[in-house]
Chain A
C-alpha cells in the first residue's frame, strides 16, 4: 500500500512537472554552453506621441504606454538624464526600452523579443512574489510548487529504490559515491572563506 502510494506520488508529480523540468534542463544546457546558442533577440523600434499634459515621471509615462498602447510588463531601470527619462518595461522574454526626451513630442520605444531559447532562459530566472506584473508572480508560485515537487520526487525515488531489494547493493554504492562526492565538495566550498 505504502509502496503504491509512493509510486503514484512519484509518477503524478513527475508528470505534472514534466514541462517545467524540461524548461529547466534545456535552459540550463543553454546557460552552461552559451556558445552553442545564438540568443540575439529580434529588435524593433516604434514611437508614440507624448500625452498632454506631459506626465512628470517614469511611472506615469509607463502607465500611459501600458493603458493606451498595450505595452505589458513591469517598470525597471529608471534613469533620469539631462534631457529626459529612460526606463524599461520588462516581462520574461520581452524588453521595451523607452526614451523620453523633453524637447520632442514622441516617446521612442525599442522592443527586444527573445526567441524560444531566450524565453526559456528568462523563465528559468523568474524569482520572487514581489513583482508588479502579476504573471511573473503566478510563474513564481508554480515554480515553487515544482521545486517542492522535485524534492518529493527525489525523496519518493529513494524510497522506491530502497524497496526494490534486488537493486539495493548497486544502488547503495552509487548513492554513497554521489553523496560522498557532492557533500564533500559542498562542505569544502562553504568553508573556503
Chain B
C-alpha cells in the first residue's frame, strides 16, 4: 500500500503512456520556424568537439551532449545533429561557411511528454538536475511495479485463492499473454 502511494503519479504516467501508444502514429507536435544563431566552429575541432561546443553554447534545456554515433552530414556536407529532451527535439545544422547555426525546434504534445517521461531512466545522457531527479523516481517505480505485481499475487494466494472470478481473471490474462507471446515468437 505504501509503495503504491509513493508511485501513484508515475503509475498514472505509465497508464497514460500505454494509451497514448495505442493511438500513436509516430512523432507529432508543433514544429517552429527555423531560427539562426551566430556560431563559429572551433578551428581544428572534430565533429564531436563541435557538437559539444554547440551544446555548451545553446545549453538546450534538459538535453545532454550528442553522442558521436548520432552526428551526421547533410547533402551540403554540413554537420547536423539533434538534441533530445522530454519536451521535444532541437535539430541543429552547423553552417560553418556562414558562421551560424540553423536551429529547428519541435515541441512534443503533452501526451508525448508523458511518453518520454516514462522512458527517462538512469542511463539518460544529461547532467540536468531535474532530469536526474526524475530518473531516480523512474528507477524506484520500475522496481516498485515488479514488487507490487508480485506482492499482489502473494496477497491473493494467501488470502482468497479460491475466488472463482479472481482465478478466471488470472487465467485469462496469463493465457492471452502466453498465447500472444508464443504465436508472435
Contact = CB atoms under 8 A, between A and B. Distances in A.
Do A and B share a complex? yes
Interface of A: 8, 11-26, 28-29, 31-34, 91-94, 119, 123, 126-130, 135, 138-144, 146-151, 153-154, 157-158, 160-161, 164, 167, 170-171, 174-175, 177-179, 181-183, 185-186, 188-190, 192-193
Given A29-B142, A186-B134, 20 more contacts: A14-B156, A15-B166, A15-B170, A20-B177, A22-B146, A26-B146, A32-B139, A33-B123, A147-B22, A148-B19, A154-B11, A157-B1, A171-B1, A171-B2, A174-B6, A175-B8, A177-B6, A185-B133, A190-B87, A192-B85
B21 A140 contact: yes
B173 A167 contact: no
Contact of A128 (B16, B21, B174): B21
Interface of B: 1-2, 4-12, 14-19, 21-25, 61-62, 85-87, 110, 113, 117, 119, 121-123, 130-131, 133-134, 137-139, 142-143, 145-146, 149, 152-153, 156, 160, 163, 165-166, 169-170, 172-174, 176-178, 180-181, 183-185
Contact of B18 (A15, A144, A177): A144
Contacts of B176: 142
Contacts, number: 199
Q: Which 6 A-B pairs have the closest CB atoms?
A: A147-B18, A127-B21, A16-B173, A151-B15, A32-B121, A25-B146
Contact of A153 (B11, B22, B185): B11
B108 to A, nearest CB: 10
B62 A21 contact: no
Among A140, A141, A151, A167, the most chain B Cβ lie within 10 Å of the Cβ of A151
Nearest to B9: A182
A67 to B, nearest CB: 19
Given A148-B15, A182-B137, A188-B130, A135 B5 contact: no
Contact of A186 (B15, B117, B174): B117
B130 A185 contact: yes
Nearest to A8: B165
Contact of A143 (B21, B87, B145): B21
A178 B6 contact: yes
Nearest to A175: B5
A128 B61 CA distance: 29
B23 A128 contact: yes
7 contacts: A11-B169, A18-B153, A21-B149, A142-B176, A143-B21, A151-B16, A170-B2
B12 A154 contact: yes
A29 B22 CA distance: 22
Given A18-B149, A21-B145, A178 B177 contact: no
